[in-house]
Amino acid sequence: MKEIIKQLEYITSRGYSHFNVFSDWLDLMIYALMSNDEEYFGVVRKYKNDRKAGEREIDFFANAFGLLMRKMKESNDELLGEIYMNWNMSNKYNCQFFTPKHIASFIAQIAEPKTGMISEPCCGSGVMLIEVCKLMSFDGLDNSLFIAQDIDSTCVKMCALNMTFFNLNAYIICGNTLLMNDYQRVFQTGRSYLGGSIRELSQDEIEIIKPNLEEQITWTATKKINQLTLF
């Protein structure tokens, strides 16, 4: 993780903000996976990239992506959320604290997931959903749909990437779970034998899927509130 942060810090050392560099890194990975050249190069043009190959900002972004893939393959763990927290990116003033991985793993074991629709209305980087998917069978994952939502757009992008990296069928929604019809942006990831895919839904597509998603998200959010009240 330190190696990845080091690559991003090469960029921030040239006068770019931590927040913008991290957010742009997420966008570059998403647009690369979507083969969206127009948006990808729109992000690239934010940076000077005026040094020789290997020392340009885009080279450090690419190095960080490559290291992320290697480290995730070695650990089989979600790392974007850890980088986000360890690089002091989290918004503590809005009470943004991610669930520690060992607690997410413990909760997943209690839930004993098998198959079906699995929802996380405050997803963060998606660590809870990832720990759940690790306990499911191959067939169970083939026949399951993960639904994630968060009010923070950076968290939504991290979660969308993680759902892609872990090859899951999922919808990742940017919006306030406590408000109906708050669908600012929706990503869809798909599971396949060739690896995960990602795309962003149009507004027309969002309107079609919204009723089914809202029913599941509202039920899960209510259940969580009731659990908190019990404690």
User: Domain 95-230 class?
Assistant: alpha beta
- pTM exceeds 0.95, yes or no: no
List pLDDT tens digits, range 84-134.
988 876 665 556 678 889 999 999 998 888 888 898 989 999 999 999 999
In the 3-class helix/strand/coil scheme, how is 18-49 assigned residue by residue? HHHHHHHHHHHHHHHHHCCHHHHHHHHCCCCC
Write the pLDDT tens digit of every residue in 10-36: 999 999 999 999 999 999 999 999 999
Per-residue model confidence (pLDDT) at position 217:
64
Q: Average pLDDT of the chain?
A: 89
> What is the structure's pLDDT at 223?
53
pLDDT in tens, 157-206: 999 999 999 999 999 999 998 887 889 999 999 999 888 999 999 999 99
Give per-residue burial for 140-174: e unless 16+ CB within 10 Å, then b: ebeebbbbbbbbbebbbbbbbbbbbbbbbbbbbbb
Greater confidence (9 vs 180) lies with 9
pLDDT of residue 218: 60
Domain with CATH 3.40.50 in the chain: 95-230
Q: How does pLDDT run across 35-79, given as a tens digit for each residue?
A: 999 999 999 999 999 999 999 999 999 999 999 999 999 999 999
